């Protein structure tokens, strides 16, 4: 179980100042300004799970596959 969504817990310090694009909403910001979570997502019709960086906690919830959010 994850106990933090702070990027600094999961990523090397030299990566935190780089810019990334949120896979959910497309926002570009410093990696240190976003959040990291263990998410289920669909890639080319295959359901996958891994640590995913997004720009804000709301994007974590939105990017999580609906099958794992109590929705059909
Ligand atoms: Zn986002």
Q: CA nearest 19: which of 10, 8, 6, 32?
A: 32
pLDDT over 80 at 71, yes or no:
no
What total of structural domains would you count in the chain? 1
Separation between Cα atoms, residue 42 and residue 33, nearest integer Å: 25
Residue 1, in any domain of the structure: no
How far is ligand 1, taken at its centre, from the CA of residue 9, in Å?
Answer: 19
How far is ligand 1, taken at its centre, from the CA of residue 72, in Å?
Answer: 23
Task: Determine the structural domain holding residue 30 and report its residue range.
Answer: 7-68
41 — pLDDT class (breaks 50, 70, 90): confident
Q: What is the pTM of this model?
A: 0.82
Mapping DSSP to helix (H, G, I), strand (E, B) and coil, where does residue 62 land? Answer: helix
pLDDT over 80 at 21, yes or no:
yes
50 — pLDDT class (breaks 50, 70, 90): very high
Mean pLDDT for 49-64 is: 92
Q: What is residue 64's predicted lDDT score, i.e. its pLDDT?
A: 84
Mean pLDDT for 32-49 is: 91
Residue 45, in any domain of the structure: yes
Residue 2, in any domain of the structure: no
Residue 49, in any domain of the structure: yes
């Amino acid at each position: 179980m994850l106990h933090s969504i702070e990027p600094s817990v999961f990523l090397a310090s030299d990566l935190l100042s780089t810019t990334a694009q949120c896979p959910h909403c497309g926002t570009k910001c410093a990696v240190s300004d976003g959040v990291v979570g263990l998410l289920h997502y669909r890639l080319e019709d295959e359901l996958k799970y891994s640590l995913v960086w997004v720009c804000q906690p709301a994007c974590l919830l939105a990017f999580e596959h609906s099958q794992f959010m109590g929705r059909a």
